[in-house]
Structure 1
């Protein structure tokens, strides 16, 4: 038995997404993230799940895990649906730069694309199966993460431990803008670069000092010049902090850099290039600290078998489903790198994630919801 054509309604799905998008949940706003966890836990309870709430670690929000056993194969590894509820949009974005609004086939709002929309699709898909009396062959687990947008520092071990209990991982991160799902992820690594200068009175004896800010400006230019778009290796200086008083030559300036590489060889090249920035120049000491790393997740055989299954389901719906290895980073990096069949980018279509023009495309809601439901119903 398959789901009827009337099983999904775009307006109903949108209402759920809007409800979630109204809760502002930037990663470090723990109250907002945990409010999202409240909503997710409520939905899981209503669907009949065995809900576990794991307290946050290191100042981040909680994790919600909901398990739905299968009478058919209750003890076998099942399907993990993995998504995050934090966003990059600060509190106040809704009232100012990115209010929730509909413009034709587009729905705008913080997190509607990345990735509250995708999480809602997965919930709607599973709920439709339950309402139709259709039971997945395998147990299904939902896992909601609080800190993906900063690299999942408090969640990685929990994600990996949970994923290893499952046969498949479905990640409803945004569909690629051209319509592909994601079968692999580039490596993503963060670095801290710190310049330590020499103090002086900026208005009286500037020549005696060595400005950390001035040196950092030079270093930033070097870092940005290392981008090689043909190789798909990128370096992005995302934050810069330095200085206390305008009349003091700055002694400390810090920059955070996000680097992306499509394979381990090019990742090693990035790591070498960043490490080579360390040293001393013009009386300024420069240090480089390697930070959080999302490993390369290659499109291995298990993942490709899962993709081919999804491709056939999509074809039966009249949709040609492509795939790619993608940048961007997600918690699918961790599960794919573990060798678990991981299909990422199953969420809503849209564009401009992480910007004040973030939006989803309403016509993608029902087809993507139907695809996720098909996977949940047919995977064995």
Structure 2
């Protein structure tokens, strides 16, 4: 039981703001590692055994920390899984998204997705252990450096760690009325177009524009979206060309595809693999990238959900559950069949925008929910 626990929303908000003040876009390993330093210090203060996993493929480190409470090293326990990278580039703090408070709203890069959730989880566990000193299950935290780009360097680490645990709790942004008991699949692709050079000022010539062909392909790909089915194809980045007076020979684009079920998953793969160049003089290549597998609620997750819903009611929250888009590292663990509950973080809006903010009023209920869930799972397996 955790009825004697007390939380201070302002203290939690201050801690989240400190973490958000360290800019950590996925492609900046130095910035991500500064965040990992903070996470490592937090875990060492809890008395955890901390492993710093060096980054690979040009990404930042991961931090894995375990509190075993005297249990056997190989005893499966509870995994708290989340990331400390963001989609916000260095300079965002000084420009479009400074840390600021507006009534109940705390703005800043990553305050919602998902530094806020991971800090809240750390804080909730710290308060829980001050209250009861030990748990009946080991507790592991895994901090990921590259989730926003599909976790290309850490998927194996996530799956290995999850397999060694009984439950996975993911403090991604919370939904006002739902737990996240499933996630749509995410498939990433890169499109490459290779044209033929010429001076752009010549009306008729040998040049073939890679950008022109890419524009036609983007219109084709995005037209495949079926919003009613929640199956989407969206191009997020495009690069190409050198000078305006040169026919561009190369153009590259990144595509994010979302599939809510296995039929849609297969359809995405079929459509993307069928792409051909509309111009025989321009070569097109389709490069498949990281995939987040479909996570659909299984019986073990629904049993975990029942415990969470009971705790939620105890703290004044009435939460249903559903499968959502907006992938997370919970896709990997849920797809493995390990009981996984997602959306356990702070509430707010504006994820991946310059209006990202959390609701300070959500911090205490969410901290009580998280600490109560960890305690209940521990006691359930005493």
* TM-score higher than 0.5: yes
Structure 1 counterpart of 2:144: 145
In structure 2, how many angstroms separate the alpha carbons of the residues matched to 1:123 and 1:40? 9
Q: CA deviation at 1:181?
A: 1.6
Is residue 183–residue 299 contact of structure 1 (8 Å, CA) maintained in 2?
yes
Is residue 213–residue 278 contact of structure 2 (8 Å, CA) maintained in 1?
no
In structure 2, how many angstroms separate the alpha carbons of the residues matched to 1:85 and 1:367? 22
In structure 1, how many angstroms separate the alpha carbons of the residues matched to 2:320 and 2:331? 19
Q: CA deviation at 1:205?
A: 5.3
Structure 2 counterpart of 1:374: 372
Is residue 62–residue 142 contact of structure 2 (8 Å, CA) maintained in 1?
yes
In structure 2, how many angstroms separate the alpha carbons of the residues matched to 1:280 and 1:103? 51
In structure 1, how many angstroms separate the alpha carbons of the residues matched to 2:312 and 2:12? 20
Is residue 73–residue 137 contact of structure 1 (8 Å, CA) maintained in 2?
no
Aligned counterpart in structure 1 of residue 214 of structure 2, from 216, 219, 235: 216
Unaligned ranges ≥5, structure 1? none
Deviation string 1:200-244 (CA, Å, 9 cap, x unpaired) is 111135542111101111111111111101111011100001101
SS in structure 2 of the partner of residue 61 of structure 1: coil
Aligned counterpart in structure 2 of residue 348 of structure 1, from 346, 349, 357: 346
Structure 2 counterpart of 1:229: 227
Aligned counterpart in structure 2 of residue 316 of structure 1, from 314, 317, 337: 314
Is residue 210–residue 282 contact of structure 1 (8 Å, CA) maintained in 2?
no
Q: CA deviation at 1:278?
A: 2.4
In structure 1, how many angstroms separate the alpha carbons of the residues matched to 2:98 and 2:177? 26
Structure 2 counterpart of 1:266: 264
Sort the Cα spacing of 1:55 and 1:73 in 2 relative to 1 into closer, same or farther, 3 A: closer
Aligned counterpart in structure 2 of residue 286 of structure 1, from 284, 291, 310: 284
SS in structure 2 of the partner of residue 274 of structure 1: helix
Deviation string 1:96-119 (CA, Å, 9 cap, x unpaired) is 000001111111000000000000
Unaligned ranges ≥5, structure 2? none
In structure 2, how many angstroms separate the alpha carbons of the residues matched to 1:116 and 1:219? 36
Q: CA deviation at 1:86?
A: 0.4
Aligned counterpart in structure 1 of residue 190 of structure 2, from 168, 189, 192: 192
Is residue 238–residue 255 contact of structure 1 (8 Å, CA) maintained in 2?
yes
Is residue 108–residue 357 contact of structure 2 (8 Å, CA) maintained in 1?
yes
Q: CA deviation at 1:73?
A: 6.7
In structure 1, how many angstroms separate the alpha carbons of the residues matched to 2:169 and 2:12? 19
Sort the Cα spacing of 1:134 and 1:374 in 2 relative to 1 into closer, same or farther, 3 A: farther
Structure 2 counterpart of 1:101: 100
Structure 2 counterpart of 1:65: 64
In structure 2, how many angstroms separate the alpha carbons of the residues matched to 1:317 and 1:37? 31
Is residue 74–residue 164 contact of structure 2 (8 Å, CA) maintained in 1?
no
In structure 2, how many angstroms separate the alpha carbons of the residues matched to 1:282 and 1:202? 20
Q: CA deviation at 1:2?
A: 2.3
SS in structure 2 of the partner of residue 132 of structure 1: helix
Q: CA deviation at 1:70?
A: 2.9
SS in structure 2 of the partner of residue 230 of structure 1: helix
SS in structure 2 of the partner of residue 257 of structure 1: strand
Q: Does 1:326 align with 2:352?
A: no
Sort the Cα spacing of 1:281 and 1:128 in 2 relative to 1 into closer, same or farther, 3 A: same
In structure 1, how many angstroms separate the alpha carbons of the residues matched to 2:60 and 2:246? 38
Number of equivalences: 378
Q: CA deviation at 1:24?
A: 0.2
Is residue 147–residue 155 contact of structure 1 (8 Å, CA) maintained in 2?
yes
TM-score, structure 2 length as denominator? 0.96
Q: CA deviation at 1:133?
A: 2.6
Is residue 76–residue 164 contact of structure 2 (8 Å, CA) maintained in 1?
yes
SS in structure 1 of the partner of residue 33 of structure 2: helix
Alignment root-mean-square deviation, CA:
1.3
SS in structure 2 of the partner of residue 149 of structure 1: helix
Deviation string 1:148-168 (CA, Å, 9 cap, x unpaired) is 011001100011001100000
In structure 1, how many angstroms separate the alpha carbons of the residues matched to 2:198 and 2:251? 15
Is residue 73–residue 138 contact of structure 1 (8 Å, CA) maintained in 2?
no
1:129-144 pair list within 5 angstroms: 129-144=128-143
Aligned counterpart in structure 2 of residue 252 of structure 1, from 233, 240, 250: 250
